[in-house]
Structure 1
Amino acid sequence: MPLLILDRDGVINQDSDDYIRCLDDWQPIPGSIEAIASFCQAGYTVAVATNQSGLSRGYFTLDDLEAIHDRLRELVAEQGGDIAGIFYCPHLPGEGCNCRKPATGLLQAIELELGHPLTGSYFIGDSLKDLQAARAMHCKPVLVLTGKGEKTRNQLQQPDVALDTPETVPIYPDLACAAQALLDA
């Protein structure tokens, strides 16, 4: 079974510069839940890798985070899919942990816990950090233009960004379009 890794904020749900602090703030991007289910139905094992420094900042509690993740799992299950694992980094950017993307600790945890080698797996994200983490673990990075995606596409155009060239990173308007293209390939 192939493995698919997804970022959360900006890929699955709407992102916010003020953080997604509670279940009421969490709003799925149209088509994203169905896209996850379609990957599952096509035989993919789906995992989520997300930076959640709002936890360390005190913006939300672990119970709030778990309520969001429970709702995500519930919605995906209603569409006939399953999320094999949701892996998050609670640390602040300056803490120097090995799990905050673009570091690869979350991806290593996914590989270990799910027993799937990541090499060649798709990693769909909206930020440069997502794409960098994907490359570092030999995944196939895919960019969606929701969330921070437009900004990231512009960053890929910069000559100082060490992530190959924009042509080597497939870009789609959103997760639903990415699912349709990747599953039809």
Structure 2
Amino acid sequence: MSTSSSKLIILDRDGVINEDRDDYVKSVDEWVPIPGSLEAIALLNQAGYQIAVATNQSSLSRGYFSINELHAMHSKMDALLKPFGARIDSIFFCPHQDSHQCDCRKPAPGLMREIALRYKKVDSTKPLIGVPIVGDSLRDLQAGIALGASPHLVLTGKGEKTLVTGNLPDGTQIHANLLAFANALLDNQASA
């Protein structure tokens, strides 16, 4: 599939695809998929969507795990997706902490700019217009809407707390989990 495909979805990782932890997901053993998330990715792939993951991973700079351990977590994710005929097309991560004041740590839009460049969506100041971004925290959604993405909050991970806290971007759609998001998106397409 061409990387210029307009069918792109951006997912946060922890709390959207896999279980989140207050003490960070630090190892392959702690990387556990949320029920239905792998099936959701498969449904989206089957509908022609490319999946980009954008994830803050400050645990790297905190020394909680190595880059090799991060790659091992992503290899496990790939291996668990294969039986479903599913795949993640690209993974973008920020290794920094808030104190580093980088442009890639969500809610800053740096990772989203990198995704827009990778998928050749650079034709305007809002290159991700129409691209769904799915997250469980406000910072996930803010990073995407900065470049025009369509915000979707899942209630897994930190999602319920995020919903209660409020201040969600205008137009945010709420879904129980990633599978509910995938089904809603595909149902909307079928009825359009």
Conserved 8 A contact 1:22-1:68: yes
1:113 maps to 2:151: no
The aligned counterpart of 1:142 is 152
Conserved 8 A contact 2:14-2:20: yes
The aligned counterpart of 1:18 is 23
Amino acid across the alignment from 1:49: A
In structure 1, C-alpha distance between the alignment counterparts of 2:82 and 2:148, rounded to whole Å: 29
Query: Sequence identity of aligned pairs in percent?
Result: 53
The aligned counterpart of 2:176 is 173
Paired residues in the alignment total: 178
Alignment of 1:57-136 (within 5 A): 57-116=62-121, 117-136=127-146
Q: Deviations over 1:101-121 (max 9, x none)?
A: 000111111111232442210
Amino acid across the alignment from 1:47: A
The aligned counterpart of 1:7 is 12
Conserved 8 A contact 2:136-2:155: yes
Conserved 8 A contact 1:39-1:179: yes
Amino acid across the alignment from 2:103: N
Conserved 8 A contact 1:123-1:141: yes
- TM-score, with structure 1 as normaliser: 0.93
The aligned counterpart of 1:155 is 165
In structure 2, C-alpha distance between the alignment counterparts of 1:132 and 1:76, rounded to whole Å: 28
Q: Deviations over 1:43-67 (max 9, x none)?
A: 0010000000000000011011000
In structure 1, C-alpha distance between the alignment counterparts of 2:154 and 2:95, rounded to whole Å: 24
In structure 2, do the counterparts of structure 1 residues 162 and 32 end up closer, same or farther at CA, with 3 Å as the change threshold? closer
| 5+ residue gaps, structure 2 | 122-126
- TM-score, with structure 2 as normaliser: 0.89
Conserved 8 A contact 2:151-2:169: no
In structure 2, C-alpha distance between the alignment counterparts of 1:182 and 1:85, rounded to whole Å: 21
Shift of 1:74: 2.0
**1:25 is paired with a residue of what secondary structure?**
coil
Q: Is the deviation greater in 144-153 or in 113-122?
A: 113-122
In structure 2, C-alpha distance between the alignment counterparts of 1:32 and 1:52, rounded to whole Å: 20
**2:152 is paired with a residue of what secondary structure?**
strand
CA RMSD of aligned residues (A): 1.2
Conserved 8 A contact 1:125-1:143: yes
In structure 2, C-alpha distance between the alignment counterparts of 1:85 and 1:118, rounded to whole Å: 16
In structure 2, C-alpha distance between the alignment counterparts of 1:76 and 1:98, rounded to whole Å: 30
The aligned counterpart of 1:27 is 32
